């Protein structure tokens, strides 16, 4: 769409739907419905950008009670 008209008002030549639609309750409900959904997705987006937290690893011990190596003497454990 190419804006027409003077520099101070970017006006589109024609509109296909009556502008009064934008002042209806239905449109307002749709807008808030979409806004709430979008905010929910935005919150998830922020969570995705931030470093992942693994709180269970803060408290669990890292030493195993027995070797899980394929070698019964656990000789591959030192390489970990």
Partner 1 sequence: MRFQRLIGLVIMGVTGLAALLLWIGVSATDTSHQRVHHGVLFGVWRVFYDTAAPPWPQLFIAVGVALLLALSVAVLERRIATRYRRSENVDVTPLSPKVVMAATRGVFHGEVTVTVLVPAHNEEASLGATLTSLWEQSVAPTRIVVVADNCTDRTVEVAHAHGAEVFESVENTHKKGGALNQALRWLLPGQGENDTVMVMDADTALDPGFLEAAVRRLTHDRALMAVGGLFYGEPGHGLIGQFQRNEYVRYGREIRRRRGRVFVLTGTASIFRPRALRTVAAARGSIIPGVQGDVYDTAALTEDNELTIALKSLGALMISPDECTVVTELMPSWRTLWNQRLRWQRGALENVGAYGITPQTSRYWAQQLGLGYGVFALTSYFVLILLMLLATDAWIWFPFWIGLGLVFMVERVVTVWRGGWKARLLAMTIFPELFFDFFLDLVFVKGVIDISLGRQAAWKHIEHTSSGVLEEAEP
Could you say whether residue 4 binds partner 1 (CB under 8 A)? no
Q: How far is the CB of 69 from partner 1 (least distance, A)?
A: 6
Cα angle value 56/59/65 (rounded, 5°): 100
Under a CB-based contact definition with an 8 Å cutoff, are residues 22 and 16 in contact? no
Under a CB-based contact definition with an 8 Å cutoff, are residues 40 and 34 in contact? no
Could you say whether residue 10 binds partner 1 (CB under 8 A)? yes
Interface with partner 1 by CB under 8 A: which residues? 1, 3, 7-12, 15-19, 21-23, 25, 27-49, 52, 54, 56, 66, 68-72, 76-77, 79-80
């Amino acid at each position: 769409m190419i804006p027409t008209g003077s520099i101070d008002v970017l006006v589109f030549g024609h509109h296909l739907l009556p502008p009064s639609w934008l002042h209806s309750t239905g449109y307002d409900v749709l807008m808030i419905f979409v806004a709430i959904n979008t905010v929910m997705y935005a919150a998830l987006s922020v969570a995705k950008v931030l470093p992942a937290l693994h709180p269970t690893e803060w408290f669990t011990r890292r030493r195993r009670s027995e070797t899980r190596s394929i070698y019964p003497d656990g000789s591959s454990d030192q390489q970990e």
